[in-house]
Chains A and B, each alone.
Chain A
């Protein structure tokens, strides 16, 4: 019983995930660490984990130059703009696309999983993507902005 509109719920999860990811990626600029460095890394005292030589590429895009966190901030910003939605996107076909979102969310999860702070954001992005996929498989559509605003009838 009950009629859960999956994409409306997924929107809240997606907003949470994207805001969390932006916040995490911001901290990833300050404390830079490759999440998977424990795989065949060496534990130094002091200094912590020294990533294995094979991780050199990830070290250069996360630790030396924080390219991945910056990408994550940008993508998170795009998602928040899409979900909130930003005034200039409101009502456009992109903003109402239920296919684009899970794709972006999966990319966000994929990016966030690489840096130390991004794990939870990645997991929540996956949850949101699952929610949107469920919405798609049920054939849900995003209603017109008019029918979709505010607390209708709850004066």
Chain B
């Protein structure tokens, strides 16, 4: 908010480039379709329909273009492979955003195309340029039938894809979106009725594609647009095959804060830190795949995800494995009691509890995982200083990254990475207890106190009691009373501009990393995961602080 539509769309270099290229190409195709119809002497009879046919043909070409584009951002595996090479060219992590832009464009041009065709067909009927009535073209010919079906499918897909519906019932969105299969079939066969022709009757043949291109003068766009469809379909098949490879849920741990940790063993699964995967539990739901961030490091012998029981899927999963809300509450209490008794070591919130499959009536469920899928934090090791910022639930990918950094630090293989600044901005830290325990491990293992710095900002409103608590308990204690880390928790929102400005100053004077001085250009990579408002503020701070000797980069991850 706060900035106008014009500022957002045109006053930003990248967005401006996108708008010019995206909408420019659309307008180009529209104009070309219009022109090619207008100047085609073979189609003189159709050109008697004037503006409506030029418009429908122009919009038809644009729709073919959109139909070819719409699946490209959904080719998840291909994007993951080409991402590292092409990250500079286009934001591969904005794939869903791009998918939506194509969809909006498709809705608009479908409106133009359909409106024009309604005019076309009534004029065909009136002039009898073809011996047909309008409703025959609409409801008995392939073009009309597939067109009307595609429109209906679009209504269902768009309405269930609205963020409100998607959030309250992901299934409605997920299942309805698979109508895309029929939509794409409709798109590829839309022109098989040979509507654009220079003969009075369609010139059908007995061989594929069952019409003669001599008299059927459509764009033949299916020859191009079918490839993304084929690739997407193959990718879905490949994902299915890959998901069926041997996978075993080896351990299930319940953390005192209520998070379940699933440790999965799948030897064929290779990933890098900061990536995410889809998980499926057939016992809970046969068809659903749910995305989760990987919390283990590639060096770990297992793949782990931490799941909090917040949604219906995760709750059902908890029930299935015998870690329902009541169990978790009991475990948490037991764990807390344990730690209270042992007051000499207040450094832990109680340990996690492993659920023993032998004690429950059912064995651990079968799980299947699909992935991994990309995230910008893969390239942490290419910069000298990495600033990792996690806000709220967005902190999860950094579990894996911090662990991974720790492993690489142990083996002395840090690339160009010299220092790590980790920021964790959250409303209430205790709800992420499992993450705290991980941070404790990482913090305790630090040999070089300057390598990793953890900064925790608590943004919740603090009442008087809590204030006193902190004031009394915090003073002189070895560990922070809230997070039980050596690092002190800070309160309120971080002042990013100040933080970055100070960092830039420290680096250029050589205080920050020994040996680095102004002759060497230092790159500080910021990796952020969290809400977009915060992303914007941080990005502005990085841009502002970039100078001749220090280069700040910024990357944001999406869920």
Interface residues of A (CB under 8 A from B): 1-5, 8-9, 12-13, 16-17, 23-24, 27, 31, 33, 35, 38, 43-49, 116-117, 119-120, 123-124, 127, 151, 154-155
Contact = CB atoms under 8 A, between A and B. Distances in A.
A124 B155 contact: yes
Contacts of B126: 46-48
B128 A45 contact: yes
B133 interface: yes
Interface string B82-119: 00000000000000000000000000000100010011
Contacts of B128: 44-48
Main secondary structure of the interface of B (DSSP, over half): helix
B244 interface: no
Contacts of B133: 38, 43, 48-49
B115 A23 contact: yes
Nearest to A10: B159
B159 A151 contact: no
A2 B171 CA distance: 6
Contacts, number: 92
Contacts of A47: 126, 128
Contacts of B118: 24, 27, 31, 116-117
Interface in B165-202: 165, 168-172
B160 interface: yes
Contacts of A117: 118
Contacts of B156: 127
Nearest to B154: A16
A116 B122 contact: yes
Contact of A4 (B123, B127, B165, B533): B165
A4 to B, nearest CB: 4
Contact of B125 (A17, A48, A120): A48
Given A48-B125, A48-B133, A4 B163 contact: no
Given A12-B159, A27-B115, A3 B125 contact: no
Contact of B531 (A17, A27, A124, A154): A154
A155 B533 contact: yes
Contacts of A119: 138
Given A1-B313, A2-B172, A47-B126, A33 B165 contact: no
B135 interface: yes
B336 interface: no
A119 B117 CA distance: 14
Number of contact residues on B: which range applies?
35 or more
A23 B110 CA distance: 13
Contacts of B158: 12, 16
Contact of B165 (A9, A116, A151): A9
Contact of A1 (B134, B148, B285): B285
Given A9-B159, A31-B119, A120-B148, 10 more contacts: A2-B172, A4-B168, A9-B172, A12-B162, A12-B165, A16-B155, A23-B111, A49-B133, A119-B138, A123-B152
Contacts of B159: 9, 12-13, 16
B164 interface: yes
Contacts of A44: 128
A13 B172 contact: no
A49 B158 CA distance: 36
Given A4-B172, A23-B115, A49-B133, A120 B151 contact: yes
Closest 3 CB pairs of A and B: A2-B169, A4-B169, A48-B125
A47 B134 CA distance: 12
Contacts of A120: 148, 151-152
B131 A45 contact: yes
A82 to B, nearest CB: 17
B316 interface: yes
Interface string B428-464: 0000000000000000000000000000000000000
A42 to B, nearest CB: 11
Nearest to B122: A31
A31 B170 CA distance: 42
A2 B210 CA distance: 44
Given A1-B285, A49-B133, A27 B119 contact: yes
B186 to A, nearest CB: 15
A40 to B, nearest CB: 13
Contacts of B172: 2, 4, 9
A32 to B, nearest CB: 9
Contacts of A33: 122, 134
B153 to A, nearest CB: 12
Contacts of B214: none
B155 A127 contact: yes
Interface string B258-280: 00000000000000000000000
B495 interface: no
Contacts of A27: 115, 118-119
Contact of B168 (A5, A116, A155): A5
Contacts of A2: 168-172, 312
A119 B118 CA distance: 11
Contacts of A3: 168-169, 312
A23 B135 CA distance: 19
A8 B131 CA distance: 45
25 contacts: A1-B171, A1-B285, A2-B168, A2-B172, A2-B312, A4-B172, A5-B165, A8-B164, A9-B159, A9-B160, A9-B172, A12-B159, A12-B162, A12-B165, A13-B155, A13-B159, A16-B158, A33-B134, A38-B135, A46-B126, A117-B118, A120-B151, A123-B152, A124-B155, A155-B533
Contacts of A31: 118-119, 122-123
A155 to B, nearest CB: 5
Nearest to B392: A155
B519 to A, nearest CB: 42
A47 B155 CA distance: 34
**Residue of B138, B158, B168 with highest tally of chain A CB at under 10 A:** B168
Nearest to B170: A2
A8 to B, nearest CB: 6
Nearest to A32: B122
**Residue of B115, B135, B159, B312 with highest tally of chain A CB at under 10 A:** B159
Contacts of B168: 2-5, 8
A148 B146 CA distance: 37
Nearest to A35: B135
A23 B119 CA distance: 13
Contacts of B115: 23, 27
Contacts of B122: 31, 33, 48, 116
